[in-house]
Amino acid sequence: MSLLPLFGVLLCAFGTVVNTAGMLCMKRASLRESDLPVYKRKFFWTGLVLLLVNSGGISLVVYAITPLGLTAPVNALTVVWGNLFSWRGWITGQREELNRRMVWANAVIVAGIVLTTTFGPKSGELPTLQAVAEHVRTSGAIVFLVCAFLTIAKSMVKLFVLKPANLKDDRTAVTAVQRAPSSVELLQRGVPRSDEEERRSGADEAPAYDTNDQAPSSASNEDPVASEDPPSPPPAADSKADRRCSSHEFTIFLFPLSSALCASLAVVAFKCVSIYLAQLVSEGQGPNKWLALVLTLAIALSILNVVILNAGMEQSQASYFVSTYMTLTVIFTIVGGGLFYGEFAQVKAEGPGVVAGFIIGVAVSVAGISWLSYLQPPEKRKEAEEQADDMIDSEVLHSEFLADLSSSESDFWSNDIP
């Protein structure tokens, strides 16, 4: 490996530390400053500045001297730093568990990075903008772009259109569960005896008394509610809880998926800008009419990445989100480098042994990140299941209370009043 790509790898490794600090600052803002508006969250803006320093400063230099297929696995160090910082409680102030299996998973990630760096593309030559334009017009690149932008649009709809309605429904449901009805409300909900008899038997029936004018007979002593089936929880509650859990699982996976797509496409666009700037300095190339569009797209994708990143960090554990986000970012960045910059051809030209080593390195890195994600499942599913169980228990208790209230009222009216 020449010195220039090696310097890019080391600089990229330093950028992962800055990137991790930025994401954890945003996580701290969601934990400690959630009651403040966004423009007053100091840690949010600190994290945003760190992310911009990495993406707009460090990464531009890295993209200009290092192939994307080489830098993408190195970016997986963000997962290692994220777990280390979360375990120590650095920046967020909230310590997370780090067991022996998670340490092994981090070691697997590092091993994959070493393999990828060893067998990855080592050419320090930049492709021309004309070659990049030809790669963009291929069918594979077009399909990748269409699928990526549709997924990003889906996440934006989920975040800005569906989320307010879902939050309103969730708050209504939680209020209905947590707010205990008063005694006056319960008495108002209780049905008078005559209406109760009409609803059950279709006609009013006076209580049957024996000839001694004493207690009611056994027929009238029967609890009117006991003759019916005991109240049972609504059968749709479990399905609603399952739908709520599955919907939340889809949401917490959609956000890192969309954020990774934004990050990888922004990397592809910024690399194009880096190529232009490098050729401008070395060859004195004139202005390009597409450069402004590519730069605008890169900035817009970076902003969308920050927005979706913040939303995802608020809804899941930092360790889970960082792991899933970086897994997908590594994959999409390597795919982007191969589709838009022809880096797959560079690796293929080195021979089948190098190709096998590069594929194994990428697979080991992704497997380590996936293993780490499996060891740290999101807590939101458990919370949703517990909330659903609480709602079911509350409905059962409410039904039993109304049944007891109706039974007591029937016994009261059936007594002999002088």
Cβ-proximal residues to 343 (8 Å cutoff; 6+ apart), any chain: 67, 68, 69, 121, 337
Phi-psi region of 213 (alpha: psi -120 to 50; beta: other; left: phi over 0): left
Contacts 24+ apart (CB under 8 A), 43-52: 44/310, 46/22, 47/21, 47/22, 47/23, 48/22, 48/306, 49/22, 50/18, 50/19, 50/21, 50/22, 50/25, 51/19, 51/22, 51/23, 51/302, 51/306, 51/309, 52/302
What integer best gives the mean pLDDT of the chain?
A: 74
Q: Tell me: the pLDDT tens digits for 243-296?
A: 544 455 556 678 888 999 999 999 899 999 888 888 887 776 666 778 888 989
User: 131 versus 218: which is more confidently predicted?
Assistant: 131
Q: What band does 237 get if pLDDT is binned at 50, 70 and 90?
A: very low
Predicted confidence at residue 398, as pLDDT, reads 54
Q: Tell me: the pLDDT tens digits for 117-153?
A: 788 776 667 788 888 889 999 999 999 999 999 999 9
User: 34 versus 238: which is more confidently predicted?
Assistant: 34
Q: What band does 1 get if pLDDT is binned at 50, 70 and 90?
A: low
Q: What band does 380 get if pLDDT is binned at 50, 70 and 90?
A: very low
Predicted confidence at residue 383, as pLDDT, reads 47
**Tokens describing residue 225:** 């509610």
User: Does pLDDT of 389 surpass 60?
Assistant: no
Mean of pLDDT values over 83-111: 85
- In percent, the amount of the chain with pLDDT more than 70 equals 64
Q: What band does 376 get if pLDDT is binned at 50, 70 and 90?
A: low
Give which of 57, 107, 101 is closest to 80, Cα–Cα. Answer: 107
Q: How far apart are CA 82 and CA 23, in angstroms?
A: 9
Q: Tell me: the pLDDT tens digits for 100-113?
A: 888 898 888 888 88
Predicted confidence at residue 124, as pLDDT, reads 63
Predicted confidence at residue 45, as pLDDT, reads 93
Q: Tell me: the pLDDT tens digits for 325-373?
A: 877 888 888 888 888 988 888 788 888 888 898 889 888 988 887 787 6
Please report, for the chain, the start and end positions of each structural domain, with discontinuous segments joined by +.
3-174+246-391
Per-residue buried b or exposed e for 38-64, using 16+ beta carbons within 10 Å of the residue's own CB: eeebebbebbbebbebbbeebbbbbbb
Predicted confidence at residue 362, as pLDDT, reads 85
Highest mean pLDDT pick, 156-165, 324-333, 384-393:
324-333
Number of alpha carbons in the 13 Å side-chain half-sphere of residue 181: 16
CB 83 within 8 A of CB 319: yes
Predicted confidence at residue 366, as pLDDT, reads 83
User: 320 versus 138: which is more confidently predicted?
Assistant: 138
pTM of the shown model: 0.61
* Residue 398: count of CB within 10 angstroms of its CB: 16
Give which of 278, 307, 273 is closest to 293, Cα–Cα. Answer: 273
Q: Tell me: the pLDDT tens digits for 289-319?
A: 788 889 899 989 988 988 888 888 777 776 6
Q: Tell me: the pLDDT tens digits for 50-74?
A: 988 987 789 888 988 888 888 888 8
The gap between the terminal CA atoms of the chain, to the nearest Å, is: 105
User: Does pLDDT of 94 surpass 60?
Assistant: yes
Q: What band does 226 get if pLDDT is binned at 50, 70 and 90?
A: very low
Cβ-proximal residues to 301 (8 Å cutoff; 6+ apart), any chain: 262, 263, 265, 266, 269
CB 3 within 8 A of CB 68: no
Predicted confidence at residue 290, as pLDDT, reads 80
